[in-house]
Amino acid sequence: MARQSQSTPADPATLIGPGIHVRGRVTGEEDLHIEGRLEGSIELTETVFVAPEGIVIATVQARDVVVSGVVVGNVTAEDSVTLNAGAKLVGDVTAPRVIVADGASFSGNVAMGGEPPPPRKRKNAARRAAPAKPAAKAVAKPAAKAAAKPAAKKAAKKAPAKKAPARVAAIPTPRAAKRDDDDTIVVKHAAVESASKKTSKKKTSKKAPPRARVPKPGKRRVGRR
Amino acid sequence: MANTVIGSTIVIDGEITGDEDLVVQGTVKGRVGLRQNIYVEESGILEANVETATITILGTVTGDVVASERAELKSNCRVVGDIHAPRILIADGASFKGNVDMDG
């Protein structure tokens, strides 16, 4: 039985060959090499290898996941997720170590670090709240209270919004834009879709034009898929 | 040879289809449809309806087996289900419960 040997062992314990199509749930306590096609879910205590010709359309949970082929679905690893050159991954990755090699293609969210992956809703809310306006207001309000009389409130609100909060907002904004792109992959999932709908509703109440109708670059991408 | 192998700790609940030999050392539930050979080893448990060219059983099979060429039940295997195959071999010591149909 090949235990944790590097990516292409001579004698893999479990192998889904290139001519095989598995549909359903796969669980186990040994390495799994996928050279064929697997749809459904994988739950392993060891390592999942997806060979260059392997196609996995599944939720993957394992200690380590090494992808050289194609994976569509969320990947959770206790230890690490490795995307080798030529790998293609569409889905969210949760693992303390995520390695993406040059030439790998990946779209999705990444959650590293010790804390458990935050629930989807909060992630989404943070993403929507990040753009400059709310951040600027939050900083502007206390500044206005401290410095100005009620009459001068408006002016004070505008002035500091340009200075101090600009720095605060500058950092999250590009990140938020990037995440909005990532959002397009996640939108497929029903739970997230409803969550993002909620948040976008909130937004429309604040701002006049209903954003949902405008074909955002993100929306278009969903259609393409 | 890069056979497809389902290792002894692996459980697959679903469907396996394809055009390749399959070695089952673990557990497969659901349905298996292959155009090649299936080997169910001693540790293997197949709880599925099976359609294949040939099947060689050393372990446990629960479910109907349809083999287009041959079904072989080795000694110490346990099979519960109907077998449909033009050639059926049952070794001494094999345990089998079900119908046999050898009509081409």
Question: pLDDT tens across A15-45, in order?
Answer: 999 999 999 999 999 999 999 999 999 999 9
Phi, psi of A135 (to 5 degrees): -60, -45
- Residue B50 pLDDT class (50, 70, 90 cuts): very high
- Residue A116 pLDDT class (50, 70, 90 cuts): low
Would you report the helix, strand and coil content of chain B in percent, each value rounded to 5? 0, 60, 40
Query: Position A73: which residue type?
Result: G
- Residue B3 pLDDT class (50, 70, 90 cuts): confident
Residues B72 and A124: their CA atoms lie apart, in Å, by: 57
For the complex shown, is ipTM > 0.95?
Answer: no
DSSP label of A131: S
Pairing of strands B60-62, A93-94: unpaired
Q: Residue B95's closest CA among B67, B71, B70, B76?
A: B76
Greater confidence (A161 vs A66) lies with A66
Angle at the Cα of A4 (from A109 to B9), degrees rounded to 5?
90
Q: Does residue B103 belong to the interface with chain A, where contact is any CB pair within 8 Å?
A: no
Residues ≥6 apart with Cβ < 8 Å to A70: A50, A54, A55, A56, A87, A88, A89
Q: Which residue has the tokens 């996941």?
A: A65
**Dihedral angle computed from the Cα positions of residues B69, B75, B80 and B82, in that order, rounded to the nearest 10 degrees:** 20
Partners of A25 on chain B (C-beta within 8 Å) are: 11-14
Closest-CA distance of chain A to residue B92, Å: 30
Q: Does residue A52 belong to the interface with chain B, where contact is any CB pair within 8 Å?
A: no
Greater confidence (B28 vs A167) lies with B28
Closest-CA distance of chain B to residue A38, Å: 9
Partners of A2 on chain B (C-beta within 8 Å) are: none
Residues B47 and A119: their CA atoms lie apart, in Å, by: 37
State whether A14 and B20 contact (CB < 8 Å). Answer: no
* Mean pLDDT calculated for residue range A41-62: 95
Does residue A92 surpass a pLDDT of 60? yes
Phi, psi of A118 (to 5 degrees): -65, 150
**CA distance readout (Å), A171 to A126, A135, A161, B8:** 14, 11, 15, 51
Q: Does residue B100 belong to the interface with chain A, where contact is any CB pair within 8 Å?
A: no
- Identify the three-state secondary structure at position A165: helix
State whether B10 and A12 contact (CB < 8 Å). Answer: no
Nearest CB neighbour to A13, from listed B2, B7, B11: B7
* Mean pLDDT calculated for residue range B20-42: 94
Residues A180 and A20: their CA atoms lie apart, in Å, by: 36
Residues A57 and A72: their CA atoms lie apart, in Å, by: 5
Percentage, residues of chain B above pLDDT 70: 97
Element (H, E) at A199: helix A190-206
Greater confidence (B103 vs B97) lies with B97
Does residue B6 surpass a pLDDT of 90? yes
Does residue B23 surpass a pLDDT of 50? yes
Nearest CB neighbour to A19, from listed B6, B9, B20: B20
**CA distance readout (Å), B49 to A14, A24, A35, B32, B53:** 21, 15, 24, 6, 14
Instruction: Give the best residue of A4, A22, A45, A56 to mutate against chain B (max B CB count within 10 A).
Output: A22
* Mean pLDDT calculated for residue range B47-75: 95
**CA distance readout (Å), A202 to A173, A205, B13:** 19, 5, 42
Beta strands of A1-139 (E only): which ranges? 14-16, 20-28, 32-34, 37-44, 47-50, 55-67, 70-72, 75-83, 88-90, 93-94, 97-100, 105-107, 110-111
Length of chain B: 104
Q: Does residue B33 belong to the interface with chain A, where contact is any CB pair within 8 Å?
A: no
